[in-house]
Amino acid sequence: MSKYYLLSGLILPMRESDTLHRFSKRISIREKQKAYEEFATHDIHSNVNSTPPQNYTFLKLSKTDEVRVVYFDYDFGNFLIKTNSRISAYNIANIIYGFHCLYRSWVPNPDSSIYALQEINRIPKYDWTIKNVIGALDEKIHSWNGDPESCEMKSGFEVSNFTHDNLKIFLSFFYKDIDAREVLDYLLKSIQICGGVPNASYYQFNYILDRKSESRAVLNKRYFEHRITYETSFITAFKGIERFFKVAQIKKSRINNIFRNITCEDVLPNTIYTRYFEIFSGYKKQIKYKDLIEHFLELRNSVAAHGNLKDPKRKIIIEDNIIEIQFFLQELLEKAFSPYENKIKILNILNSLLRRRILFSQKDNKDRL
């Protein structure tokens, strides 16, 4: 029997960058609909759709699993996962979260007061209030005693329309590839714990300047302030590397061998990796994949294998190491995903050309008649 899971943390407004919904959270459904109609009628530059939004299927993944977009409170859209398995629901949710982590630099709030997935007995409708949504939640799982208007289900990161097609391709790939999906889970958790790869513009104009101004003493101080957090984040990302290469544990003497377990193009022992973060700690910019993994292995063993704080050879983990291993893991995932993504995009272009050819052919036949 299928169950429904409402995804928290991400919202899909009726119209992208719509300012109206941000200022009308506490008015009634009828007042909100009237506001939309007036806004659409009186603003000559407006293309607001004043009709009630309709729920729709975003992507069907299998006979039992699909992702929908549903609306409540007139214009608050959310992803809803339909599946007969709680495991599948969380797998799909983590893929959606992972996409927005990698491509939109957003991660779910680990301190959220609500579950990532709200198990709901009925599919919401646009004229539901937040009270209706809370009332439809599975009472055996959820309890809500606070002000419904303060519920975090009414807030989150806005999903952009231009990312929908790429999200569908991303979902299709990681839904089918269990290994890649688990690697994505480890990367997402590592970033949630600590770190996060900055986007290119922030790196170029902010990160480089800020990092160069920091002394080694400050970095050392921050390590002891956040030692467990730093080490846990790093070890989690390293576990993602082990999962990518399909081994339970990477050993120094067998690093070359792990590359035989995968078929990704340009993921070879001698493939060159470019560092962008550990260079501030004095490491060389260019390094081979096998040497980088050995370097990460030494750090991992230093902080995780023995846990001996008095070991004179013990190394400390700083932000440079954390962001670098996350960036490397992200590069591995993108190399696994890119061939599938390119294939789907080429097929979509070919299908579009084929449809156009059929339409032109039909039009030409009508003209002849």
Nearest CA to 273 out of 316, 319, 212, 334 is that of 334
- Chain-centre distance for alpha carbon 245: 21
What's 45's DSSP letter? Answer: T
Instruction: Flag whether pLDDT at 44 surpasses 50.
Output: no
Residues 103-112: what's their mean pLDDT?
86
Quote the DSSP letter at residue 22. G
Q: Give the least confident one: 51-65, 187-201, 296-310, 347-361.
A: 347-361
pTM tops 0.85, yes or no: no
Percent of the chain with pLDDT over 90: 49
Model confidence band, residue 97 (pLDDT cutoffs 50, 70, 90): very high
Instruction: Give residue 36's pLDDT band: very low, low, confident or very high (50, 70, 90).
Output: low
19 pLDDT more than 60: no
Burial of 308 (0-12, 13-18, 19+ CB in 10 A): exposed
For residue 66, what is the DSSP state?
E
Find, among 58, 53, 55, the residue nearest to 33 by Cα.
53
CA atoms within 13 Å, Cβ hemisphere of 300? 21
For residue 358, what pLDDT band results from cuts at 50, 70 and 90?
A: low
Q: Is the dihedral of CA 259, 265, 270, 275 positive or negative?
A: negative
Report the distance separating Cα 257 and Cα 34, nearest Å.
66
Asked whether the beta carbons of 319 and 281 are under 8 A apart, the reply is no
- Averaged pLDDT of the chain: 83
Query: What average pLDDT does the segment 345-366 reach?
Result: 60
The answer to whether the CB of 50 falls within 8 A of the CB of 136 is no
User: Higher-confidence residue: 100 or 358?
Assistant: 100
Averaged pLDDT for residues 192-204: 80
Nearest to 97, CA basis, from 191, 14, 177: 191
- Let me know: does 173 contact 337? Beta carbons within 8 Å: yes
The arithmetic mean of pLDDT across residues 203-230, rounded, is 89
Question: In whole angstroms, what is the distance from residue 117 CA to residue 5 CA?
Answer: 6
Average pLDDT over residues 319-338: 93
Residue 360 binned pLDDT confidence (cut-offs 50, 70, 90): low
Residue 328 has pLDDT above 60, yes or no: yes
Q: Is 183 exposed, middle or buried (0-12, 13-18, 19+ CB in 10 A)?
A: buried
pLDDT at 74: 77
Say yes or no to pLDDT of 183 above 80: yes
Q: Burial-class residue 78 by CB neighbours within 10 Å (0-12, 13-18, 19+).
A: buried
The secondary structure of 323-352 as a DSSP string is: HHHHHHHHHHHHHHHHHHHHHHHHHHHHHH
More confident residue, 113 or 283: 283
pLDDT of residue 307: 52
CA–CA separation, 133 vs 73, rounded Å?
A: 9
Instruction: Summarize pLDDT for 258-282 with one digit per residue, the tens.
Output: 999 998 888 999 999 999 999 999 9
Average pLDDT over residues 227-253: 94
Tell whether the torsion through CA atoms of 192, 323, 316 and 270 is positive or negative: positive
Cross-strand bridge partners of residue 288: 272
